[in-house]
Amino acid sequence: MREIALNILDIAENSVKAKATLVEITVTAENNVLTVTITDNGVGMSKDFLERVTDPFTTTRTTRKVGMGIPLFKDAAEMTGGSFGIESEPGRGTRVTAKFVLDSIDRAPLGDIADTAVTLLAPGIDFVWVYTVDKRSFTFDTREIKAELGDIPIDSPEIISFLRNLLKENIESINGGITI
Ligand SMILES: Nc1ncnc2c1ncn2[C@@H]1O[C@H](COP(=O)(O)OP(=O)(O)OP(=O)(O)O)[C@@H](O)[C@H]1O
Ligand SMILES: [Mg+2]
């Protein structure tokens, strides 16, 4: 099974391609449900396009005729008995919501969220990650990090390695010994 962190990477890359300047990602595990939301302020999609977007043959890619990011995420969530939805408005942005039944045998492991978060780091776009397990929560906001860094680019190797460790430690502490 493909890790959910890789689905999140795919969906966040859609936000980057949609020229978003801010992407908020929430990962919440509580009451046997894992909820993931990815919200961006990118170009959005028309109502007509949105109705077709969960079909693999809907894509604005020019290099191949299928787009799999959204259909794979939808399938991964629905396979567990969970749900999937997208809201979008042209010129305003898009929100993707996936709900997974945590104890379903068909649920993929969450995987390496810290790795996904650092892979996405770039100077021209900001990310807010909110990671919650039960009532314990951790927020990572690249706007705050960039303010501290000043002229040092957030995607320089030393910063990436520092932030990966920071994220890993916080995620482990929120998990409290369990693996999601
Ligand atoms: N956040 C978004 N904002 C605006 N348009 C989006 C967004 N996410 C997806 N889309 C549109 O929906 C299409 C389908 O997305 P999907 O991720 O399923 O496939 P893809 O990105 O085209 O290809 P792949 O993910 O396989 O590289 C995209 O080509 C894009 O036009
Ligand atoms: Mg995609």
Tell whether the model's pLDDT for residue 29 goes beyond 90. yes
Rounded distance between C-alpha atoms, residue 152 and residue 110, angstroms: 31
Atom 6 in ligand 1: residue holding the nearest Cα? 14
- The mean pLDDT value for 45-60 works out to 92
Q: What are phi and psi of 47, to 5 degrees?
A: -60, -45
User: Ligand 1 pocket: which residues have CB below 6 Å?
Assistant: 10, 14-15, 18, 40, 42-45, 53, 58-61, 67-71, 94
Atom 13 in ligand 1: residue holding the nearest Cα? 59
Q: Domain count for the chain, please give it.
A: 1
Is 130 inside a domain boundary?
Answer: yes
The confidence band for 11, taking pLDDT boundaries of 50, 70 and 90, is very high
- 174 to each of 44, 50, 86, 131, how far by Cα in Å? 33, 35, 28, 8
Residue 31, domain CATH:
3.30.565.10
- The mean pLDDT value for 36-52 works out to 97
The residues facing 118 across adjacent strands are none
State the DSSP string of 45-77: --HHHHHHTTSTT----SS-S---HHHHHHHHH
pTM value is: 0.97
Is 8 inside a domain boundary?
Answer: yes
Q: In this structure, which ligand is nearest to the CA of 70?
A: 1
Tell whether the model's pLDDT for residue 70 goes beyond 80. yes
Q: Please give the DSSP secondary-structure letter assigned to residue 43.
A: -
Is 148 inside a domain boundary?
Answer: yes
How remote is the CA of residue 15 from the centroid of ligand 1, in Å?
A: 8
Is 34 inside a domain boundary?
Answer: yes
Residues 85/73, Cβ–Cβ less than 8 Å: no
Identify the pLDDT of residue 66.
80
Q: Which atom of ligand 1 is nearest to the CA of 59?
A: 29
State the DSSP string of 135-180: TEEEEEEHHHHHHHHTTS-TTSHHHHHHHHHHHHHHHHHHHTT---
How remote is the CA of residue 150 from the centroid of ligand 2, in Å?
A: 32
What is the domain extent for residue 86?
Answer: 4-175
Identify the pLDDT of residue 96.
98
Nearest to 109 by CA among 34, 42, 170, 52: 34
* Continuous H helices in 79-141: 113-120
Is 180 inside a domain boundary?
Answer: no
